[in-house]
Chain A
Amino acid sequence: MKPAPFEYKRPGSLAEAVALLADQSRVVKPLAGGQSLVPMLNLRLAPIDLAVDISRLAELRGISLEREVLRIGACVTHAEIEDAQPLSASMRLLRAVAGGIANRAIRNRGTVGGSVALADPATEWPSALLALDAVAHLRGPAGVRSVPLSEFFLGAYTTALRQDELLQAITLPARSASLKAGFEKICRKAGEFASSLAFVAIDPSAGYARVVLGGTGGAPLVLQRVGALAMKGSPAEAAAVRAAAQEDLAASGRQFDEYERQIHSVSVARALKKALA
């Protein structure tokens, strides 16, 4: 479990990092917290030619709130989110999510951008940030383009990120105090990857409600029927929520076995209940 040889570079600026990624003749990967990439390299599952260490780039760091938009640099660690000031209602949810990721040692290194860019379905950030209607800002050779997360995740480990692009930051609406949010993570042990993940965000003042299911075999799913129930804003019977979730699962066109249908509908109902509590 030692990696095959690869080259390592630590560019001094974001522009330099993007320039390194542009080399199409080689397999080049950005290295942020290394909590997924390094184990994969060690297992020799995904050999690379060059690792571009972006973890210390100032442009990719920091959390800020400006004009009701929360900006999180791609290389902000899970721990930094866990420990951050509750700048807004959205941030409060993100802090709670961060605290449940793996364990503190991993949170100290793992980054939000790494997690979003990897798009492992069993991890928190893709679903959580999608529920909060976040936008990914991708820096490429031609500049920055912004892609809403609703269009960013294409499948398990598959995103709209091009090989020569780097996820620079995530932005999301800060949300008012009226935000009602809840999430449920079903996993076998503390900090483990999720078997099911449900996030609910309802912002009556903005006429916004979104319910996202993660922990499936594919991209995070936005559940329309449960979302409609959430929009009503009053607690629904758990059975009705579970039935709506089952319909959403069926409508997704993906395959779920009996157990998956059950725990996904349960996690969705629980998350909604928490949001409306």
Chain B
Amino acid sequence: MQQAATQGVGKPLRRSEDGRFLHGRGKYLADLHVEGMQEAVFVRSPVAHARIRRIEVPQGAAARVFTLADLGDIKPIMAVSAAAGYQRSNYPALATGKVRFVGEPIAICVAPTRAEAEDLAQQVLVDFEDLPAVTDMYAAREPDAPRVHDEWSDNVAFLGRIDAGDIDALARSADLKVSITTRQARQAAVPLEGRGVLAYRDHRLDELTVYSSTQFPHVIRTILADCLRLPERRLRVVAPDVGGGFGVKNNFQPEELALAALALRVDFPVRWVEDRREHLLASAHAREHGYKLIAYADRSGRILGIDAEITVDAGAYSIWPWTSSMEAGMASGILTGPYDIRTYRARAYTMATNKSPIGPYRGVGRPGACFAVEQLVDAVARAAGREPHEVRAENMVRPEQMPYVSVTKKHFDSGDYPALLRKAAEEIGVAQVRERQQRGEADGRLIGVGFASYTEQSAHGTDEWVARGLPVVFGYEPCTARFTPDGELVLLVGIQNHGQGLETTLAQVANQELTIDPRRVAVRHGDSSLSPYGMGTFASRSMVMAGGAVAKACREMAQKVKRIGAHLLGTEPGVVSLRDGAVWHGDKSVPFARVAEAAFLHPERLPKGEAPGLDVTVVYEPGCSTGAFAYATHAAMIAVDPDTGLVEILDYVAAHDCGTVVNPMIVEHQVIGGVAQGIGSALFEEIPYDEQGQPLASTFMDYLLPGAAEVPRIRVFHTETPSPHTTYGMKGMGEGGAIAPPAAILNAINDALRTLGAELRQSPCSPRRIVAAIRAGAGGRK
């Protein structure tokens, strides 16, 4: 029998990776230096839509300025969905013929320093023939709208349809019909470290080495090899320390392709480090959904059906591998939330516009869907004259219905959704808020309470990705567990750790299975030449997928360690156990160091027939590949200053369940980090475009992010309902924190404004929008 692990699953271990970060010894893209390296700067389009007539390179600079024609025979990026009706487009490494958004890369300039490369870029003249731009997703649907891609029939990249049950019959018979129209802004992901690429030829290995600040180096190697027409064995992709990704580094970027292609053509290493302005202009943007929803409900507020029109402004190109339709597809697939709703119609439009392409950002599709449906639930509660949290609870899937297959075929595996909602309602103190609202505030502000509930599909495997029709099916994760001859352990994994604490938590899993001290475990990742092929870190998958793989590898390893240990102890494997990094039989033990020494250096000490070495490679797939469903309810209490439109968050509660928690300290703070980003979506972050397609927030002067003063103490409450389909019952939770805040905060604001007859339906909830809503509401009352 294995002894309880003391630093294993469920323990709040401090993060082993933090030492190097806190001492400034992390090694990010911008910290790398390769002999002879030149810095690259992109000449980017200053216009939203134009034909390129001519690119004029300054005299004498031909060897330092490169356009697409200089990059050789490379393929453009083409993200293709298998879905019928999907309109495809090429996303070239550098624009050719036409530019389609402000910030699109046109040429690369190289120089010994970034500043000199910028000097050069300033001198490259591009002659444009301006074309009318389409900058609004609804205007893009108009028949006479300018076309982003000339060869398309219209600007609809994809129209998704869901028809479940008879919504038209409900429309005729339901007691209540409640409609809302809502919209969320376009954002950037803004990780602490921007994107970046360093590429050079390694002549010794006959390889192209590409360092990229990416979340999935192995997958980048595959697509890069394809676009460069190189065999994969001649490519090595390394993600060094990565300072946050949140999805924006989970794309195959044109800059990655351009730098890699350039490195094949020149005899020096080239590096590009994205600056903040480039990030805000030209990284894959996020969000920007619009919803027109109708709920049909009975008199008590029980929602019988939802009719949804979803529109996503996907920008100019389709991001590989996700495709432009991922946002709309995911939003329509999850729109019914944690609710037991059996009739549902959705039309989900993915619109091409002359803006930066839309890509994944923490939550992917779900923050938009949650934002919309949670407003709808509140509107239904109002129509029914009831408390929103009570109406929510009555509409939720009940624990006795688990496992539950939703109207969109999502397999909710386990949990008690109403219980967490009740917990959040109790902690935020709805009754006390109602009393306080009656009394009024001394400072004239209005307070309100708002809720948002969601499910977080996590660690989805083969079936889910096949259903989405993507070019890659992210169904598994590998692990190689390898002892060293001195008895310590190396875990080689295919995920990429960029803030999640996986170097710690995966070692905790090894401790759980092998009892080895986590300090004697090295977790290695982020290098396509180091670990077995894996998919990277995104979609709240790494703890479940790589954790499952580490557990599986360590279990297999434990068997061999026991066989060798038992032999060294002169007994049978069946009677020994592992404890504190040793094999035990009664009060006799052999430490792993002696087991490993025998395995690697003294095969003569091994049992007969036992192969030398301690090296196990496995691949893990979860038992149910449509994902493990974490869930949560967030509750916000806010104060609105009706004179200025400023909002203060007075209290914020996140009650969540992500199944078995591996490290509660990491989980709690990952929730808090997500909520902070959600507060950004709710109140601050926005990239508007003018009618010519110029982005109006290209520095932090105009793009506001929440700071320490804007993020209140977040009170996190956990319950643990293990998933029946994953190792230990873990569920992913990396994205959840960011999903609910825009909805919870906007609902709280509307609760506060209720006495004024005012209603807000757009995020971020800026002071200007709030004051406008108050004015409109007051006008409406007269």
A residues sitting closer than 8 Å to B (CB atoms) are: 1-5, 39, 43-44, 103, 186, 188-193, 195, 258-259, 262-263, 266
Would B707 and A189 count as touching, CB distance under 8 A? yes
Can you report 13 A-B residue pairs in the complex whose CB atoms are below 8 A from each other? A2-B115, A4-B115, A4-B119, A5-B115, A39-B699, A43-B699, A188-B684, A188-B704, A189-B706, A189-B710, A190-B707, A191-B709, A259-B767
Task: Please name all residues of chain A whose beta carbon is closer than 8 Å to the beta carbon of B643 when the two chains form the complex.
Answer: 262-263, 266
Nearest residue (CB) in A for B275 is A1
Residues of the A chain whose Cβ atoms lie less than 8 Å from the Cβ of B766: 188
Residues of A within 8 A of B277 (CB): 1, 43
A44 touches B118 (CB 8 A): yes
Can you add 18 more A-B contacts, CB < 8 Å, to A4-B115, A263-B643?
Answer: A1-B118, A2-B114, A2-B115, A5-B115, A44-B122, A103-B707, A188-B683, A188-B704, A189-B710, A190-B707, A191-B709, A259-B645, A259-B768, A262-B644, A262-B771, A263-B644, A263-B645, A266-B643
Contact A263 B710, beta carbon cutoff 8 Å: no
**Hey, which chain B residues are within 8 Å of A4, CB to CB?**
115, 118-119, 122
Interchain nearest-CB distance for A235 vs B (Å) = 16
CB distance from B283 to the nearest CB of A (A): 14
A263 and B767: CB pair below 8 A? yes
Residues of A within 8 A of B701 (CB): 193
Report the nearest A residue to B772, measured CB to CB.
A259
Q: Decide yes or no whether B233 CB sits under 8 A from chain A.
A: no
Q: Are A1 and B276 in contact (CB under 8 A)?
A: yes
- A103 to B710 CA separation, bound complex (whole angstroms): 14
Docked pose: A2 CA to B113 CA in angstroms: 10
Residue of B nearest to A193 (CB): B701
Per the bound structure, the CA–CA distance linking A192 and B684 in Å amounts to 12
Q: Are A190 and B275 in contact (CB under 8 A)?
A: no
B767 proximity list for chain A (CB < 8 A): 186, 188, 195, 259, 263
User: Which residues of A sit under 8 angstroms from B114, Cβ to Cβ?
Assistant: 2
Closest residue on chain A to residue B647 by CB atoms:
A188
- Min Cβ gap A5→B in Å is 7
Q: Which residues of B contact A191 (CB under 8 A)?
A: 707, 709
> Nearest 7 pairs between A and B by C-beta?
A190-B709, A2-B115, A1-B275, A266-B643, A2-B114, A189-B710, A259-B768
Shortest distance between the CB of A145 and any CB in chain B (Å): 33
Q: Please indicate the chain A residues that have their CB under 8 angstroms from the CB of B708 in the complex.
A: 190
Contacts of A186 in B (CB 8 A): 644, 646, 767
Within 8 A of A (CB), among B261-278: 275-277
Rounded to whole angstroms, the CA-CA distance of A44 and B120 in the bound complex is 13
Number of interface residues of B (CB under 8 A): 29
Contact A188 B115 (CB under 8 A): no
Q: Find chain A residues with CB under 8 A from B645 CB.
A: 259, 263
Interface positions of B from 699 to 728, Cβ below 8 Å from A: 699, 701, 704, 706-710
Contact B644 A192 (CB under 8 A): no
**Smallest Cβ-Cβ distance to A188: which chain B residue:** B704
Question: What is the chain A residue whose CB lies nearest that of B705?
Answer: A189
Report B-chain residues with C-beta under 8 Å of the C-beta of A188.
646, 683-684, 704, 766-767
* Cα A259 to Cα B768 with chains together (Å): 7
Contacts of A193 on B, CB cut-off 8 Å?
Answer: 701
Closest residue of chain A to B278 (Cβ to Cβ) is: A1
Q: How far is the CA of A259 from the CA of B646 in the complex (A)?
A: 12
- Residues in B with CB closer than 8 Å to A189 are 684, 704, 706-707, 709-710
> Across the two chains, which residue of chain B brings its CB closest to A47?
B122
B707 — which chain A residues lie within 8 A by C-beta? 103, 189-191
Asked if B775 CB lies within 8 Å of chain A CBs, one says yes
The 0/1 profile, CB within 8 Å of A marked 1, for residues 389-432 of chain B is 00000000000000000000000000000000000000000000
**Closest chain B residue to A265, Cβ basis:** B643
Contact with A along B642-655 (1 / 0, CB 8 A): 01111000000000
Which chain A residues border B709 with CB–CB below 8 Å?
Answer: 189-191
What residue of chain B has the Cβ atom nearest to residue A3's Cβ? B115
Bound state CA distance, A103 and B277, in angstroms?
21
Q: How far is the CB of A21 from chain B (nearest CB, A)?
A: 25
Q: Which of A39, A44, A186 is packed against the most chain B CB atoms within 10 Å?
A: A186
Query: Chain B residues near A44 (CB, 8 Å)?
Result: 118, 122
| Contact between chains at A259 and B771 (CB < 8 Å) | yes
Question: In whole angstroms, how far apart are the Cα atoms of A5 and B123 in the complex?
Answer: 14
A193 to B701, CA, bound (A): 8
Expressed in whole angstroms, the minimum distance between the Cβ of A180 and any Cβ of chain B is: 21
Complex: A259 Cα to B704 Cα, angstroms? 19
List of B residues within 8 angstroms of A266 by Cβ: 643-644
Residue among A1, A5, A43, A193 facing the most chain B CB atoms (10 A cut-off): A1
A201–B19 alpha-carbon span in the complex (Å) = 51
Residue of B nearest to A270 (CB): B643
What's the least CB distance linking B544 to chain A, in Å?
36
Most chain A CB inside 10 Å of its own CB: which residue of B113, B114, B115: B115
Most A CB contacts (10 A, CB to CB) among B115, B644, B709, B771 go to B644
Tell me the residues in window 741-779 of chain B with beta carbons closer than 8 Å to chain A beta carbons. Answer: 766-768, 771-772, 775
Output the least CB separation between B194 and chain A (Å). 11
- Bound-state Cα–Cα, A88 to B275, Å: 45
Query: A258 contacts which chain B residues (CB < 8 A)?
Result: 775
Q: When the two chains form their complex, are residues B119 and A5 in contact, meaning their CB atoms are under 8 A apart? A: yes
Instruction: Name the residue of chain B whose CB is nearest to the CB of A267.
Output: B644
Q: How far is the CA of A258 from the CA of B767 in the complex (A)?
A: 13
CB distance from A2 to the nearest CB of B (A): 4
Q: In the docked arrangement, what's the CA distance between A118 and B708, Å?
A: 28
User: With a CB–CB cut-off of 8 A, which chain B residues contact A195?
Assistant: 767
A262–B772 Cα gap in the complex (Å)?
A: 11
Which chain A residue has the least Cβ–Cβ distance from B276?
Answer: A1
- C-alpha spacing A191/B706, complex, angstroms: 11
Tell me, rounded to whole Å, the shortest Cβ–Cβ distance linking B50 to chain A.
Answer: 22
- In the bound complex, CA of A43 to CA of B766 (Å): 27
Q: How far is the CB of B296 from chain A (nearest CB, A)?
A: 37
Q: Residue A190 contacts which of B115, B699, B710, B775 (CB distance < 8 angstroms)?
A: B710
A53 vs B395: C-alpha distance in the bound complex, in angstroms? 66
Task: Tell me whether B118 and A2 are in contact (CB under 8 A).
Answer: yes
